[in-house]
Amino acid sequence: MRGLASIEVRRLGKTFGNSVAVDELSFQVAPGQVTGFVGPNGAGKSTTMRIILGLDRPTAGEALIAGRPYHSISRPLCQVGALLEANAVHPGRRGRDHLLWLAQSNGLPSRRVDQVIEQVGLGAAALRRAGGYSRGMCQRLGLAAALLGDPGVLILDEPVNGLDPEGVRWMRQSLRDWAGQGKAVLVSSHLIAELEGTADRLLVIGHGRLLADSSVAELVGAINASQVDLRTTQRERAITALTGAGAQVTLTGPDSLSIEHLPAERVAQVMATHGLPVLELTSHRATLEDAYLKLTQGVTQHRSGETS
Query: Among 69-73, 82-86, 130-134, 300-304, which is the least confidently predicted range?
Result: 300-304
CB 168 within 8 A of CB 160: yes
- pLDDT above 80 (res 226): no
The pLDDT value given to residue 185: 97
On average, the pLDDT of the chain sits at 90
* H helices present in 82-134, as ranges: 95-105, 110-119
The pLDDT value given to residue 273: 96
Start and end residues for every CATH 3.40.50.300 domain found in the chain: 2-79+151-221
Strands ordered across the beta sheet of 226-231 = 248-253, 256-260, 226-231, 280-285
Dihedral pair phi/psi, residue 185, rounded to 5° = -115, 120
The pLDDT value given to residue 304: 41
- Residue-wise pLDDT for 204-224, tens only, equals 999 999 999 999 888 877 665
Start and end residues for every CATH 3.30.70.980 domain found in the chain: 224-285
- Residue-wise pLDDT for 264-282, tens only, equals 999 999 999 999 999 999 9
> Which residues, 6+ apart, have CB-to-CB distance to 233 below 8 Å?
255, 277, 279
> Which residues, 6+ apart, have CB-to-CB distance to 181 below 8 Å?
2
Which one has a higher pLDDT value, 225 or 73?
73
- Residue-wise pLDDT for 55-76, tens only, equals 999 999 999 999 999 999 989 9
- Residue-wise pLDDT for 151-178, tens only, equals 999 999 999 888 888 988 999 999 999 9
Query: Among 85-94, 137-146, 160-169, 216-225, which is the least confidently predicted range?
Result: 216-225
- pLDDT above 60 (res 307): no
224-285 has CATH 2.60.40.3120 classification: no
Rounded-to-integer distance, Cα 44 and Cα 209, Å: 8
CB 232 within 8 A of CB 275: no
Full-model pTM = 0.80
Measured CA distances, 31 to 4, 91, 192 (Å): 8, 35, 22
Rounded-to-integer distance, Cα 305 and Cα 153, Å: 27
Of the candidates 48, 146, 41, which has an alpha carbon nearest to the alpha carbon of residue 89?
146
Q: Which amino acid is at 160?
A: V
The pLDDT value given to residue 58: 97
- pLDDT above 50 (res 203): yes
- By CB atoms closer than 10 A (0-12, 13-18, 19+), residue 197 is exposed
The pLDDT value given to residue 263: 87
CB 210 within 8 A of CB 48: no
The pLDDT value given to residue 305: 45
**Residue 256, SS3?**
strand
The pLDDT value given to residue 303: 44
- pLDDT above 70 (res 91): yes
Task: Please provide the CATH number assigned to the domain covering 2-79+151-221.
Answer: 3.40.50.300
